[in-house]
Structure 1
Amino acid sequence: MRSRYGHVYEPEGGWASDSPEVDTGFSYADLEAGVGDIASFSRGDSVTGTVLGFEPNGALIDIGVKSSAYCALAECALDKPVRPEDVLELGAQYEFLIVSREDENGQQMLSRRKILTVKAWDAVTEMMASDAAVEGTVAAVNRGGAIVNVEGLRAFLPGSHYLPGQNPPEELVGQPLKVKFLDVDRENNRLVVSHRKAMVDQTINNLAVGSVLAGIVTAVKPYGAFIDLGGMSGLLHISQISCDHIGDVGSVLPLGTPIKCMVISQDKSKGRVALSTKTLEAEPGDMIKNQAKVFEEAEATAAKYQERLEAERKAREEAAQDVIFGLESVFTDSPDEPAKDVEDLPLEN
């Protein structure tokens, strides 16, 4: 030190080694023991830290070591916030990942984003396994489809999995969207979702015989038309289009025609739905003569149709009860005659 600085500092009274009578009360053993009490973390360790303060580009975190650690703004959340205080609360505790060794000042860099990313992938993996529908937010739209934020992760929504014959419109950006998972690949950071699949399952679960649904004709066959009901396809058989005879389905329901139809049967397990517009005709042949009227009055006509079915059901039940009561009267005692056993009844030749 003398050769470098020209002098050497000596405390007043000299060092303890030179003056045995001076007792500082603190030894190297005490220093070593004190240092041993301070926690030490390595890169890759997970720690719980307390937010000490905020800086423009990050936050200071107390993780129990000699110097406060630092969490950069981009590492504070899954999506980079504008300010650290938008996602972290002063004095609150959070879980962080150590992402660097100590620098010359003894400070280590932390990441909360990496912790949240692992949890988000665990969540979407579980959701796909359970075939759960989740609500995401549309972040961007392009010709191939859309980018949807799901559980903080960016997922791709192919255009073909939005709605049949439609690409996600620009107006969808920032809006919530129900989706289901098609592919969850953590290793390749690949996440693919489907709005169409979520809508199909939701429609099937809420479907009931007698419901009136809006759809679009997506295919025309000699035996009928296939109707897209918001992602789910239903069959409108040629015999269920109108009470009047139809020879050519395409002449009555061209491809792309908007339509309303009634559900007359369904098989949820197989995703099959049978439809009818004949039941929505106020007058036989309206589907051929005046489709606009049929679709405009569809709900009202369907309600009357259901009322008629209910009346017919009650009439059948009453008729069945009359038959039962008639049979019972044969075996019931008459007030003017003694009771008869079954063996006493006359036999028909």
Structure 2
Amino acid sequence: MSEKNDNADLLNALNSVEEVKIGDVVKGEVLAIDDDKQAIVGIEGAGIEGVVPQKEISTKPVEDIRDVVKVGDKLDLVVISKIGNDKEGGSYLLSVRRLAARKIWDDIQKEYEAGHTLTAQVTQVVKGGLVVDAGVRGFVPASMITDHFVEDLNQFKDQSLEFKIIEIEPSENRLILSHRAIVEEQKAEGREKVMETLTVGDTVEGTVARLTDFGAFVDLGGVDGLVHVSEISYERVGKPSDVLKVGEKVNVKILSVDEDRNRISLSIKQTLPEPWDGIEEKAPEGAVLEGTVKRLTSFGAFVEVFPGVEGLVHISQIAHEHIATPNDVLKTGEKVNVKVLEVHPERHRLALSIKALIEKPAGLAEEDNNNESKRSNNKPSKRRNNNVNERSIANAPEEDTGFTLGDLIGDQLKNSEDSEK
């Protein structure tokens, strides 16, 4: 009777032993740590042992397996493969890491299906993008990092960023993420709010976000506006980078808002004092100023005496000697001293003279005296030549010179008429 009972107990014990298969999730108790490189565990319900290598003990790199587990710990494990050919069951290769990864993949899959995002840390910069730790390895292609070109991707290393899940394939350990999608969504939300508050004509503060050859993009707090190069300063600006820096705070005036095209035109120079304001005090008649030759035409030279303020030195006011063209004696960019002859603030015009500051050569002074003596002994002619090259003036459109024909030769004609009376 006792023998029968013993046999029955043995049979029941054998029948209660669960069969272990590759891919099964099992529980195991740590029985020993072998050379700090692997853990020996007993598989519950199977009556057999398994091995967990150091690299399979955690989802993170482990230098000493004893830092992670100790004898007596209970672990959830997945069966990777069978070791040896022991017909009695033998040992199995087990993994904590792969079971954790499987759970992570399941969680990420659920987040993906629900349309949720995830936050992960950038661990590596590789050719073509970024590697992130989302519990499992994720990859961010360079084109999906942000909404503009970034030359050095190392600035993102070790940053924790929010990502949209673009593609997930657990069987191939492929997880493709995008931070650009998050940036664009945030900007779209911010743009709507900011656009509602913008009013043409208002002056607001912004931050220089990007510089191009044609202008500067200024962040207004969620939406960028463009300051064209012509609207940066009253002075001529060759390149925006000559006068502005990325990150610089600037005041801008809102010129236009196109909500349909998400375009905002801005101006920096229109927030600055108008160059011609107070010009009568800054450049009164008779004042001597230093200026820069900005443009040369057939009828004279335009000289900038203050930023954004140019005056005309007519060809007759360049030198005492006769000159064919201003190019004969002046060069663009040259510094010159000028005397203010006339000021017309309402028309933004200055009449200037260079020769008024130059002593007349002795030979010319004597010649002028002789000519004056001759004129006093002869009747005045009905028509006298003056110092104005009328043909060159007539061919110069008013919008180019800033002066009308009457402005340029009026005084000379008046003097001629007076002499005829």
Give the shorter-chain TM-score range: 0.5 to 0.7
The answer to whether the 8 A contact 1:159-1:167 is kept is: no
Give deviations 1:171-194, integer Å, cap 9, x for gaps.
Answer: 654443443333333344332223
Q: Secondary structure at the match of 1:100?
A: strand
Say if 2:63 is the partner of 1:82.
yes
Give deviations 1:202-222, integer Å, cap 9, x for gaps.
Answer: 4555665367344103584xx
Which amino acid counterpart does residue 40 of structure 1 have in structure 2? E
Q: Secondary structure at the match of 1:114?
A: helix
Query: Hey, what does 2:76 align to over in structure 1?
Result: 95
Which amino acid counterpart does residue 30 of structure 1 have in structure 2? D
Against the structure 1 CA distance between its residues 272 and 82, is the aligned structure 2 distance closer, same or farther, given a 3 Å change threshold?
farther
Query: Hey, what does 1:72 align to over in structure 2?
Result: 53
Q: Structure 1: how far apart are the matches of 2:31 and 2:132?
A: 34
Which amino acid counterpart does residue 97 of structure 1 have in structure 2? V
Q: Structure 2: how far apart are the matches of 1:83 and 1:38?
A: 33
Q: Structure 1: how far apart are the matches of 2:121 and 2:72?
A: 31
Query: Hey, what does 1:61 align to over in structure 2?
Result: 41
Give deviations 1:36-65, integer Å, cap 9, x for gaps.
Answer: 233332222112333344332222333312
Q: Residue 233 of structure 1: CA displacement?
A: 6.8
Which amino acid counterpart does residue 106 of structure 1 have in structure 2? G
Q: Residue 98 of structure 1: CA displacement?
A: 1.6
Q: Residue 115 of structure 1: CA displacement?
A: 1.8
Q: 1:183 aligns with which of 167, 171, 174?
A: 167
Against the structure 1 CA distance between its residues 95 and 190, is the aligned structure 2 distance closer, same or farther, given a 3 Å change threshold?
same
Which amino acid counterpart does residue 161 of structure 1 have in structure 2? M
Which amino acid counterpart does residue 84 of structure 1 have in structure 2? I
Query: Hey, what does 1:212 align to over in structure 2?
Result: 206
Q: Structure 2: how far apart are the matches of 1:23 and 1:170?
A: 76
Q: Secondary structure at the match of 2:48?
A: coil
Say if 2:141 is the partner of 1:158.
yes
Q: Secondary structure at the match of 2:81?
A: coil
Q: Which has the higher contact order (CA 8 A, sep 6+)?
A: 1
Against the structure 1 CA distance between its residues 215 and 225, is the aligned structure 2 distance closer, same or farther, given a 3 Å change threshold?
closer
Q: TM-score, normalised by structure 2?
A: 0.47
Against the structure 1 CA distance between its residues 252 and 99, is the aligned structure 2 distance closer, same or farther, given a 3 Å change threshold?
closer
Against the structure 1 CA distance between its residues 123 and 29, is the aligned structure 2 distance closer, same or farther, given a 3 Å change threshold?
closer
Q: Structure 2: how far apart are the matches of 1:280 and 1:245?
A: 9
Q: 2:185 aligns with which of 201, 204, 222?
A: 201
Q: Structure 2: how far apart are the matches of 1:262 and 1:52?
A: 71
Q: Residue 31 of structure 1: CA displacement?
A: 1.9
Computing the radius of gyration from Cα coordinates, the structure with the larger value is: 2
Spell out the pairing of 1:1-349 with structure 2 (5 A cutoff): 27-55=6-34, 56-64=36-44, 65-88=46-69, 91-101=72-82, 103=84, 104=86, 106-149=90-133, 151-163=134-146, 164-170=148-154, 172-205=156-189, 209=194, 212-217=206-211, 220=214, 234-236=224-226, 253=240, 258=246, 260=249, 272=262, 274=264, 276-278=266-268, 281=271, 283=273
The answer to whether the 8 A contact 1:146-1:157 is kept is: yes
Give deviations 1:215-272, integer Å, cap 9, x for gaps.
Answer: 103584xxx8656899x87342769957x899x9x9574799636568979999x994
Which amino acid counterpart does residue 123 of structure 2 have in structure 1? A
Q: Structure 1: how far apart are the matches of 2:175 and 2:2?
A: 68
Against the structure 1 CA distance between its residues 34 and 204, is the aligned structure 2 distance closer, same or farther, given a 3 Å change threshold?
same
Which amino acid counterpart does residue 224 of structure 2 have in structure 1? G
How many equivalent residue pairs? 257
The answer to whether the 8 A contact 1:47-1:96 is kept is: yes
The answer to whether the 8 A contact 2:137-2:173 is kept is: no
Against the structure 1 CA distance between its residues 165 and 49, is the aligned structure 2 distance closer, same or farther, given a 3 Å change threshold?
same
Residue identity (%): 22
The answer to whether the 8 A contact 1:262-1:276 is kept is: no
Against the structure 1 CA distance between its residues 205 and 188, is the aligned structure 2 distance closer, same or farther, given a 3 Å change threshold?
same
